[in-house]
Amino acid sequence: MTENFMRELSRRDFLALSAVTTGGLLLAACGAPAAVAPAGLAGKPVENELNIYNWSQYLNPDTLKQFQAAHSGMTVKQDTYASNEDMLAKIEGGAKGYDIVVPTGYMVKIMIEKNLLYPIDHSLLTNYSHLDSRFTQSGYDFGNKYSIPKDWGTTGFGFRKDKIRQGMTSWKDFFEMAPHFSGKISVLDGANEVIGSTLKYLGHSYNSDSDQELSAARDTLLKFKPHVGHIDSANYKTLLANGDLAYSMGWNGDFAAILALTPSPPVQYVIPSEGSEYWVDTWAVLRTAPDPVAAHTFINFILDPKIEGLEANYSYYANPESDATPFITNGIPKDPTVYPPQSELDKLESNKPTPKGQRMRDQIFAEFKAA
């Protein structure tokens, strides 16, 4: 694989790396963070440091360069994580020094409930008005009090057109064609993605917490498991692009990035006809942030449509600002993988498990992995 390919690849980090970085901090953690209501930030000086804790390859290096050019003297550091859960474990474990994190909508809600996020000071975000209005009314954080939408996408699957000539359109295909492609199938390493998809296949809600529906999902998954070759959120792109997989569950931007390779591999992304997940990733400031003004300055900088365009060109994920569209190149705004038509969007749900549903998902997923 070329270096370029690796660069474009990952919203999610290497599994192994995440295991190394998170392994050490399990024990540091007890006690909740102090609940201090922060005062308004307007008029306070910008700190000269900024620490971003982000998914890997999820911030355009050019964006960083331009930001640093505009704020000379500021040191920006970035550290990466591989899943929302890894990030939460580390922050809850007492990791200090980070200013900005990038949680997905459902994780924003959890972090708000755990009192881990700094209320956004909207007076510092002069570019906020560029956001499309539907991104200011999300259920996980209505009015963006604690988080600012970064980009959005869908969870579905991609398949090799050269191996599956009849094509695939649904979760039904995903689960029922498995015996023909045993070992050449991969699913995401996430309880909610895997179990949510199974629930959709069975005709239930992505977020069901009914015992009966979840137990049916469990049975389906245990029957499906012998055919699963990989449970992985990072390497599936490479494996699919190489032809080592027949089909793979994943996030749309990853498949868009594969398709942008030259030559483009015969891969097609599918939003399954039964429906699937729609997610929004956000910028959020931590309550423990040592540099809250710099963090707001950075988020405001990103909200500039020109910069949002840079971001979309790098990550292949859809942007929450229509104003950014003129700055997005490579035909991305017209790519149905990145911007699905409204008819497909209507079938999607966002991930918002109940505590009970989450516990059951985690147990079923452990059983699935062990099978």
Partner 1 sequence: MARLAKLPAPLLLAPAAFWYLAFFVVPIGFIAVFSFLTSADFGGISYQLSLENYQRLAQSSVFLKVFANTLWMAAGGTALCLLVGFPLAYFLATRAGRWKNLLLVMLIVPFWTSSLTRTYAWLILLGNHGPLASVLTQMHLLHGDLNFLYSYSAILLGVTYNYLPLMIFPLYVSLERLDKRLIEAAKDLGAGRWRTFRRVTVPLTMPGIVIGSLLVFIPLMGEYLVPSILGGARSFMIGNLIGDEFISAHDWAFGSALAMGVILILMVLITIYFRVARRVTSAELAL
Query: Could you list the residues that contact partner 1 (CB under 8 A)?
Result: 15-17, 19-20, 22-23, 26-27, 29-30, 32, 83, 85-86, 88-89, 92, 110, 113-114, 183, 186, 190-191, 225, 228-231, 242, 244, 355, 358-359, 362-363, 365-367, 369-371
Distance CA 156, CA 271 (A): 5
Q: Chain-centre distance of CA 327, in angstroms?
A: 22
Q: Are strands 75-81 and 49-55 parallel, antiparallel or unpaired?
A: parallel
CB nearer to partner 1: pick between 49 and 79: 79
Q: How far is the CB of 276 from partner 1 (least distance, A)?
A: 20
Q: How far is the CB of 9 from partner 1 (least distance, A)?
A: 15
At residue 349, the 3 state secondary structure works out as strand
The two tokens of residue 340 are 């699905």
Q: How far is the CB of 83 from partner 1 (least distance, A)?
A: 7
CB nearer to partner 1: pick between 224 and 317: 224
Q: How far is the CB of 24 from partner 1 (least distance, A)?
A: 11
Q: Are strands 49-55 and 100-101 parallel, antiparallel or unpaired?
A: parallel
Q: How far is the CB of 361 from partner 1 (least distance, A)?
A: 9
CB nearer to partner 1: pick between 75 and 115: 115
Distance CA 347, CA 276 (A): 7
Q: How far is the CB of 58 from partner 1 (least distance, A)?
A: 19
At residue 301, the 3 state secondary structure works out as helix
Q: How far is the CB of 288 from partner 1 (least distance, A)?
A: 16
CB nearer to partner 1: pick between 19 and 42: 19
CB nearer to partner 1: pick between 140 and 339: 140
CB nearer to partner 1: pick between 115 and 329: 115
Q: How far is the CB of 59 from partner 1 (least distance, A)?
A: 23
Q: Are strands 49-55 and 267-270 parallel, antiparallel or unpaired?
A: unpaired
CA R_g for the chain: 20
CB nearer to partner 1: pick between 41 and 364: 364
The two tokens of residue 245 are 């997989």
Q: How far is the CB of 220 from partner 1 (least distance, A)?
A: 16
Q: How far is the CB of 13 from partner 1 (least distance, A)?
A: 13
CB nearer to partner 1: pick between 80 and 337: 80
Question: What are the start-end ranges of the H helices in the chain?
Answer: 3-9, 15-23, 61-70, 84-92, 105-113, 171-176, 191-201, 211-224, 236-242, 252-259, 292-303, 305-315, 342-345, 355-370
CB nearer to partner 1: pick between 170 and 358: 358
- Contact present, 277 and 350 (Cβ < 8 Å): yes
Distance CA 262, CA 49 (A): 39
CB burial readout 205-224, b (16+ within 10 A) else e? ebbbbeeebbebbbebbeeb
CB nearer to partner 1: pick between 136 and 238: 238
Three-state SS across 148-189?
A: EEEEEEEEEEEEECCCCCCCCCCHHHHHHCHHHHCCCEEECC
Q: CA 81, 327, 136: angle at the middle one, nearest 5?
A: 60
The widest CA-to-CA distance across the chain, in whole angstroms, is 64
